[in-house]
Each structure stands twice: as structure tokens, then as C-alpha cells.
Structure 1
Amino acid sequence: METLHEAAEKLKLLGDRTRLTMLTLLKDREWCVCEFVEIFDMSQPAVSQHLRKLKSQGLVREARRGQWVYYSLHVEDKPYIQAVLDAMPTGSQVLSAMDKEIRCACD
């Protein structure tokens, strides 16, 4: 069982709109860093910094495929995080609100 401090540190990450949006999108499928760069109109280092923070708290997993790194959600053992994400809109709703389409630039 996590301590209150550990849970608070994980929940603090969700206070950032970009990280919360990333986790919401990860509910549906894994995403490549290059896709997040395009979706968020951010530099690759900025996207990687957000993902590094999420990974450091065990909220995402990473898998390297060639030169690209793919991220997937890892909150099965964190029901309080899953409860927050369950209350979020779907990934397609988020993308629609951002006026974005999914186009993978990784291939």
C-alpha cells in the first residue's frame, strides 16, 4: 500500500493540464513521443520531460521500437488515479476539442 505522501505526489502530476491530457489519451492506446509532439505543438524535449515525470511515478510504461519510444498507461495498481481518468472525456473527445487528428509521424 502506498503512503499518503506517495499518493499525493502522483496526484500532483495530474494537476498539470498537459500531463492529465496525456494520461487521458493513454486510456485508449499507447502513443509515440512523436505523436504527442504533434498533438501538443511542443518540442520533443518538452514532451519527453512530461513523460519522464509520469514514468518516474509509475503512471506510464515505455517501450522502445527502433528510434521511437512508445508510452502506455500503467495505473492498474493505482485505483485513485484510475478513478480520476475514468471521469475524463474519451481520447477522441479530447482530440476533437483540441481540433487535432491522429497522424503518426513515426513511420
Structure 2
Amino acid sequence: MEQINEIADKLKLLGDKTRLTILALLTDREWCVCEFVDLFDMSQPAVSQHLRKLKSQGLVSESRRGQWVYYSLNIDDKPYIRAVLNEIPSSQEVLSSMNKEINCDCD
């Protein structure tokens, strides 16, 4: 029963469009918080809150480089999350539909 609760908690996170979109984008590469801020037109604290929730459930990993934090997908041991991501548009399609260019001064 514990495993069902754990999976349910992770899948609840995917019920949020922003978090699901973040995971879709992370399928191809790692992203910096600043890129998500520009892409979603959200404040840095709002983006960080979404990422914190994903990280707390073990769906993303973070690495710090200087003042920037980069996030990557961490679902190798979660095939049910991979199955969901396989059914949604690719990261390229997501970016095209958002009609945005990413300009990040992260480097």
C-alpha cells in the first residue's frame, strides 16, 4: 500500500500544467531556473516552488554552478512517470507552442 501512496503523490504533481511542462522540457536537456522564469513569465520564487516540489518527490535533480541552479530529469527508477511523459508533446513541440525564445545569462 505504501508504494501506491508514493506513486499517487508523484502523479498528483503532474496534475499541474506548469510542472508537467517542466518535466516535458527536461526530457531533452537540463535547464536553469532563469530559463524557466523567462519561459513561463513567472517570478523566480514561483518557478523555484514548482521545482522544489518536483525535487522533493525525486523527479528532478539539481546541480549548482556559480549562482545558478540547473535541473535535470531523475526518473530512471520511475517507469510510470516515463510512461506519462511518452504520451505528451515533445519538448520541441512544447517550446514551439509557447512561441518563446530562451535568453539566459546563466553562463
TM-score, normalised with respect to structure 2: 0.96
Tell me the residue number matched to 1:30.
Answer: 30
Q: CA deviation at 1:106?
A: 1.4
Whole-angstrom distance in 2 between the partners of 1:93 and 1:37: 19
Matches within 5 A, 1:39-54: 39-54=39-54
Number of aligned residue pairs: give it: 106
Gaps of 5+ in 2: none
- For the aligned residues, what is the CA RMSD? 0.9
Q: Percent identity?
A: 74
Gaps of 5+ in 1: none
Moved more, 57-66 or 2-11: 2-11
Whole-angstrom distance in 2 between the partners of 1:11 and 1:105: 33
- The one-letter amino acid of 1:19's match is R
Tell me the residue number matched to 1:69.
Answer: 69
TM-score, normalised with respect to structure 1: 0.96
Counterpart of 1:105 in 2: which secondary structure? coil
Q: CA deviation at 1:61?
A: 0.1
Matches within 5 A, 1:1-107: 3-107=3-107
Runs of 4+ in 1 over 3 A off after TM superposition: none
Q: CA deviation at 1:102?
A: 2.6
